[in-house]
Structure 1
Amino acid sequence: MGTVGEAGASLPSSSDGTKRRVSYFYEPTIGDYYYKQGHPMKPHRIRMAHNLIVHYRLHRLLEICQPFPASTADMCRFHSEDYVDFLSSVTPEMLASLSSENADTFKLDNSDCPAFDGLFQFCQASAGGSLGAAVKLNRGDADIAINWAGGLHHAKKSEASGFCYVNDIVLGILELLKHHARVLYVDIDIHHGDGVEEAFYTTDRVMTVSFHKYGNFFPGSGDIRSIGCDEGKYYAMNVPLSEGMNDDSFRGLFRPIIQKVMEVYQPGAVVLQCGADSLAGDRIGCFNLTLKGHADCLQFLRSFNVPLMVLGGGGYTMRNVARCWCYETAVAVGVEPENKLPYNEYYEYFGPDYTLHIEPKKTVNKNSARYLEALKNTLLERITKKQHVPSVQFQERPPDTDSPVQEEEAEDSRNNIGPLWNGDPYDSEPEQG
């Protein structure tokens, strides 16, 4: 791989010698949205990541696109009309005035999923980026399309969940299915990708693979025995893990499982959700991955040279989320950034070391070698039960979405075990440690 630093960037390259055309979706106002004081989900982290991308000069190697806002019609391709109507009109004052019964209908609350100013516009930006990314891939205008504002995998058809309101991933996959017989969804967020799995649980046209913390952890789903049903049986795969998961252990599971899935399923496109709460030191997460361990998943999927959509997701230590998604943008274009951070608008957040990469924590990996080997063997055996390259009956293809892409270069088992966040008082950054 080439190197890139403050002075500029090398031409993109990769271990397989093939360049990739990368489209990067960024809404400049995304960092203005604010869930509420003390809430761990901070859209500002996307602006921080973008700032690092620009200061590393990675933007020169990307096609930068500003997404068109997703319309209510776009959202209603998955979500119910009454839910979308509610999202488009709800305000903090309106939610506070509703009876608890009415407020509970769509699962908005004053904790995990508050009604904040600009909520619907935030959803439109997130979903618009993933729809735009799908259109780019469908048209063959990009090999990889990135939307760090996407990846909101908990949202359901008619309810908000886990800081997520509109499931941009499902909308993006539905767009990809217009051109591809099969789409693979891979989720490396520390939380189970329940909303996406649920949406495609009965079909073989989408295979979902989720690597996540399981056991007394939000959202409580993602058991290894959840495998899909009807035509979707064996097309939902869950990899339940314990805390302390490190780079070597994760790579030892991810690569052989995904290798076998790619061989057997042969997707026409892949969607990778890169939730950064699986990194070491996350405020909510309890895995112990470094940036290189996390990004190895992207590097490996990139090597198959299949159209690839790359999305954000969780991540609650902002400086590390920014580091991660900047580094993974570099991996997408095939360069290696210098470890020393270039000076940028948020430089003080990255002290005291001011480096790109993070060190793993001194914590115990509670995933024993014996458990991981048994888990891997069980899942590899299960993959062999799938129909090799499931076929799709001929049907009329839905019309393509009008180009939601406005290009401009930028400089700047289903049980609920409680909330994703219980009011952690530590809210401000920069923070050390």
Structure 2
Amino acid sequence: MMEPIPGESKKRVRAKPATKREMSQFHTDEYVDFLHRITPENAHQFSKEQSKYNVGDDCPIFDGLFEYCSISAGGSMEGAARLSRDKCDIAVNWAGGLHHAKKAEASGFCYVNDIVLGILELLRYHQRVLYIDIDVHHGDGVEEAFYTTDRVMTASFHKYGEFFPGTGEVRDNGIGKGKGYAVNVPLRDGITDENYRSIFQPVMTRIIDFYQPGAIVLQCGADSLSGDRLGSFNLSMRGHAACVQFIKSFNLPLLLLGGGGYTVKSVSRTWAYETGLAAGVELRGGKLLLAVWPKLTIGHAQ
């Protein structure tokens, strides 16, 4: 189901929600079944499972939980599939980017790891996939999923020190075949646009030149923005978006995903601006300046 966005080369796609079977390409069958069955009404029947799967506290049970997971995962998988089949050059799923979820464990507001599922879809067509994470929190779930392989390289730029999830040191760089294919860049509180750019661009240039990926996944967590309720960086909207623009400049198939962000107005404004950048539409003073960008797919659900 596709609806045209003004301009022939841009489409908004209502992605098919991911099925239990599709989620089980990464997550265990038991964990997916638990997410499918539990509701606020019957949660008391699953007290043991909630403890086992780390559900509760920052990963609460709510009405529509499984539907939410299905929509998020389905959007990222659909975007990856369209990129791989040359139906678009850039795919966007702001409902995705849930980078903390593990194979059989919820974590940090994340239940199903749509990023891993999207990367697995890309790996069906591409020998090497690069994952980049600019959320203020370390992208631990994605790193862990691909820590022993050289087919996925992960690069995470995140807050240094005693901060959730407490992982992502420079020395953590993969094991076995994956040795050297996990890159962690811990950053100090208050980092500015200029300082972030001076680190991000040289590091990513070297990684892309070395790794030669067939496709890139960029998690655009907006909790790295200045003023975020949980973050502590000092990035402006344009500083954050500069990362998107820079990665786009390599002209590789690109999957843009959401992530954290707890000051809602800043998040929505930034992701709207970055959608514009992806589409070749620059937002200035509330006006749209349209430039041509071939084939953009934006995932959404209703």
Task: Provide the TM-score with structure 2 as the length reference.
Answer: 0.92
Rounded Cα–Cα distance in structure 2 between residues aligned with 1:409 and 1:60: 16
1:260 to 192, 195, 206: 206
**Sequence identity percentage:** 57
| Residue in 1 that maps onto 2:161 | 215
| Residue in 2 that maps onto 1:233 | 179
Rounded Cα–Cα distance in structure 2 between residues aligned with 1:320 and 1:103: 33
Rounded Cα–Cα distance in structure 1 between residues aligned with 2:153 and 2:22: 22
Q: Does 1:273 align with 2:207?
A: no
2:51 to 104, 107, 123: 104
SS in structure 1 at match of 2:203:
helix
Q: Which amino acid aligns with 2:54?
A: K
* Alpha-carbon shift at residue 338 of structure 1 (Å): 2.0
Rounded Cα–Cα distance in structure 2 between residues aligned with 1:174 and 1:244: 35
* Alpha-carbon shift at residue 93 of structure 1 (Å): 2.6
Rounded Cα–Cα distance in structure 1 between residues aligned with 2:60 and 2:298: 32
Structure 1 stretches of 4+ with a deviation exceeding 4 A read 407-410
SS in structure 2 at match of 1:60:
coil
| Residue in 2 that maps onto 1:191 | 137
Rounded Cα–Cα distance in structure 1 between residues aligned with 2:219 and 2:298: 25
* Alpha-carbon shift at residue 245 of structure 1 (Å): 1.0
Greater strand proportion: 2
Rounded Cα–Cα distance in structure 2 between residues aligned with 1:215 and 1:120: 33
Rounded Cα–Cα distance in structure 2 between residues aligned with 1:341 and 1:335: 10
| Residue in 2 that maps onto 1:242 | 188
Q: Does 1:78 align with 2:26?
A: yes
* Alpha-carbon shift at residue 242 of structure 1 (Å): 1.3
SS in structure 2 at match of 1:292:
helix
2:233 to 287, 296, 312: 287
- The superposition leaves residues 176-215 of structure 1 with CA deviations (integer Å, 9 ceiling, x where unpaired) of 0000000000000000000000000000000000000021
Q: Which amino acid aligns with 1:70?
A: A
| Residue in 1 that maps onto 2:77 | 131
Distance change in 2, residues 1:408/1:281 (3 Å): closer
SS in structure 2 at match of 1:93:
coil
SS in structure 2 at match of 1:253:
helix
Rounded Cα–Cα distance in structure 2 between residues aligned with 1:301 and 1:334: 14
The 5 A counterparts of 1:34-433 are 59-61=5-7, 62-99=10-47, 101-109=48-56, 111-340=57-286
SS in structure 2 at match of 1:145:
strand
| Residue in 2 that maps onto 1:349 | none
Q: Which amino acid aligns with 1:301?
A: I
Task: Provide the TM-score with structure 1 as the length reference.
Answer: 0.65
Rounded Cα–Cα distance in structure 2 between residues aligned with 1:184 and 1:209: 8
SS in structure 1 at match of 2:158:
strand
Q: Which amino acid aligns with 2:60?
A: P
- The superposition leaves residues 362-392 of structure 1 with CA deviations (integer Å, 9 ceiling, x where unpaired) of xxxxxxxxxxxxxxxxxxxxxxxxxxxxxxx
Q: Which amino acid aligns with 2:134?
A: I
Question: Number of aligned pairs?
Answer: 290
| Residue in 2 that maps onto 1:393 | none
Unaligned runs of 5+ in 2: 289-296
- The superposition leaves residues 63-82 of structure 1 with CA deviations (integer Å, 9 ceiling, x where unpaired) of 10001010011000000000
- The superposition leaves residues 307-360 of structure 1 with CA deviations (integer Å, 9 ceiling, x where unpaired) of 000000000111011001000001101221123489xxxxxxxxxxxxxxxxxx
| Residue in 2 that maps onto 1:34 | none
Does the aligned pair in 1 maintain the 2:154–2:183 contact within 8 Å?
yes
SS in structure 1 at match of 2:184:
strand
Does the aligned pair in 1 maintain the 2:38–2:46 contact within 8 Å?
no
Rounded Cα–Cα distance in structure 1 between residues aligned with 2:203 and 2:82: 28
Structure number with larger C-alpha Rg? 1
Rounded Cα–Cα distance in structure 2 between residues aligned with 1:187 and 1:156: 16
Rounded Cα–Cα distance in structure 2 between residues aligned with 1:171 and 1:67: 14
Rounded Cα–Cα distance in structure 1 between residues aligned with 2:52 and 2:44: 14
Rounded Cα–Cα distance in structure 2 between residues aligned with 1:274 and 1:94: 35
